[in-house]
Amino acid sequence: MMRSMVRVKKTAARVAAILLLLLTLGMIAWVARPLYLDHIYYRGSVSNHFDGQRFFNPEGEQGTGGDRNGPGLGRIFALITGDRGPGWPNSVPVASTIPPERIAGSAMRVTWIGHSTVLVQTQGLNILTDPVWVDKVGPLGLVGASRVRPPGVRLADLPKIDLILISHNHYDHMDVATLRTLWNRDRPLIVTSLGNDAILKDHGIAAQARDWGGRVGVRPGITVIIERAHHWSSRWGEDRNRALWSGFTVTLPGGNIFYAGDTGQGDGSWIRSAAKDGPFRLALLPIGAFHPRKVFSGNHIDPQQSVQVFRDIGARHALGVHWGTFKLTEEEMNEPKIELADALKAAKISAGRFITTEVGQGWMVP
């Protein structure tokens, strides 16, 4: 009996020692997380949106998750588990399509591939925004929201891409695996905002990075202007706001394109700034990931605000993006599309001017 009790005590002591060791290692890992989760992507002069270490919105509002407190445990749990909640099926059947190789002259064909990934074809140029083809958006492809709608165009069926616009480094907008495939296949010109080029360089991908207001020439008469947006950035939590977020204007002989990227309303000054680079033939505007509004209004515009942006920048036509693909927030899958239709009706704007499409469906922009 005595020997048995001694063995039990020794086992209990070993278990306690192991637990104490694990707890100690966990605490060390938590305290030391900036050493392995923080990354310096950009070094430069202080400006009205860069403090020498991190970027910020000039209005002073950092957006949900933009400060050091992060998005909250509930939000993190939803992202890790991929929980979709009510109004989101496990999957939506999609009949993928094959776009033409090129569209010549001033004709413009637009294909929503899913979420914020859009193929714009005009002037013999193939432009792709925030290309994401993975099934799960998150670190290492192991955690994060799962894709509900498959891409409307298979990656293998995508025509040769000439220009890629990357708005910021969140996983649902910067997918390194997709970008590496496109870079190796097509060697496109990749344009982004400050700091994001460093992330891509680590994966053997070259990109041109500029500050807000910067320009990158594509061809004679075709230029990319990096536009201000109201958002935030992070890949690993501790690297929050180390890289800049942006939208884009592409100047084109047949009419300019505006892509807003991810953005909240802020004080609206970014809208007035972008409007100066019009007139716009086409705007690609986010309409999803907005509920609850009190939580996400700092970094995502809702359908009503998107309609206001459409009016304020003076676009002739628009396509609603950033909805119905990944469950990122609490609204139902088709709620952004329904609310957009209501907002357009209330604003007395023809539904044919600001549309949503099925993924893979080609739209010839008037």
Tell me the domain boundaries of the chain: 1-31, 108-364
Nearest to 175 by CA among 148, 155, 194: 155
Using CA atoms, how far apart are residues 347 and 353, in angstroms rounded to an integer? 12
What type of residue sits at position 138? G
Name residue, tokens 């070094």: 43
pLDDT of amino acid 71: 44
Percent of the chain topping pLDDT 70? 83
How far CA 273 is from CA of 62, 189, 219, 249, 280, in Å, comes to 19, 25, 24, 11, 13
Residue 144 · residue 138 · CB < 8 Å: yes
* Pick from 68-77, 86-95, 274-283, 322-331: least confident: 68-77
Average pLDDT over residues 306-329: 96
Show Cβ contacts of residue 355 under 8 Å, excluding neighbours closer than 6 positions: 317, 318, 319, 320, 363
Higher pLDDT, 53 or 23: 53
Tell me the pLDDT band of 366, cut-offs 50, 70 and 90: very high
pLDDT at 30 over 50: no
Query: Quick one: pLDDT band at residue 344, thresholds 50, 70, 90?
Result: very high
Residue 1, judged by CB atoms within 10 A of its CB (0-12, 13-18, 19+), counts as: exposed
Q: Is 150 exposed, middle or buried (0-12, 13-18, 19+ CB in 10 A)?
A: buried
18-22, 195-199, 257-261 — which is least confidently predicted? 18-22
- Burial class of residue 94 in the structure, from the number of CB atoms within 10 Å of its CB (0-12 exposed, 13-18 middle, 19+ buried): middle
Highest mean pLDDT among 76-85, 87-96, 116-125, 143-152: 116-125
Rounded to an integer, the average pLDDT of 167-180 is 97
Q: Cα–Cα distances in Å, from 334 out to 89, 147, 338?
A: 11, 15, 6
Alpha-carbon distances, residue 2 vs 6, 7, 9, 14, 90 (angstroms): 6, 9, 11, 18, 58
Domain 108-364 has CATH 3.60.15.10: yes
Residue 80: pLDDT band (50, 70, 90) is very low
The stretch 218-222 carries a mean pLDDT of 96
**pTM attached to this predicted model:** 0.87
Given a cut of 50, is residue 76 above it in pLDDT?
no
Please give the pLDDT value at position 296.
84
H or E segment to which residue 317 belongs: strand 317-321
- DSSP classification of residue 29: H
Asked if residue 293 has pLDDT above 90, the reply is no
Give yes or no for residue 69 having a pLDDT over 50: no
In degrees and rounded to multiples of 5, residue 344 shows phi and psi of -65, -40
Cα(333)–Cα(289) distance, rounded to whole angstroms? Answer: 10
163-166 sheet: strands from edge to edge: 208-210, 189-193, 163-166, 125-129, 117-122, 108-114, 362-364
pLDDT at 169 over 70: yes
Phi-psi region of 276 (alpha: psi -120 to 50; beta: other; left: phi over 0): alpha
Roughly how many angstroms between the first and final C-alpha of the chain, as a whole number? 90
Listed in sequence order, the DSSP H helices in the chain are 2-31, 33-37, 73-81, 176-186, 196-201, 269-275, 293-296, 303-313, 335-346
Map 195-239 to HEC letters.
Answer: CHHHHHHCCCCCCEEECCCCEEEEECCEEEEEECCCCCCCCCCCC
Bridge-based pairing state of the strands 108-114 and 136-137: unpaired
- Region 171-183: mean pLDDT is 97
Considering only residues 192 and 78, tell me which one the structure prediction assigns the higher pLDDT. Answer: 192
195 has a pLDDT exceeding 90: yes
Mean pLDDT confidence for 157-170: 98
Structure tokens at 359: 């993924």
The pLDDT assigned to 35 comes to 46
pLDDT band of residue 245 (cuts 50, 70, 90) is very high
Q: What is the model's pLDDT at position 352? A: 95
Q: What CA–CA distance (Å, rounded) separates 341 from 97?
A: 26
Q: Is the dihedral of CA 133, 135, 137, 140 positive or negative?
A: negative
Paired tokens of 59: 């209005």
Banded model confidence at residue 22, pLDDT cuts 50, 70, 90: low
The tokens for 160 are 């040769």
pLDDT-based confidence at 29, cuts 50/70/90?
very low
Question: Is the confidence at residue 33, as pLDDT, over 60?
Answer: no
Evaluate if residue 193 carries a pLDDT over 50. yes
Report the range out of 132-141, 230-239, 251-260 with the highest average pLDDT: 251-260
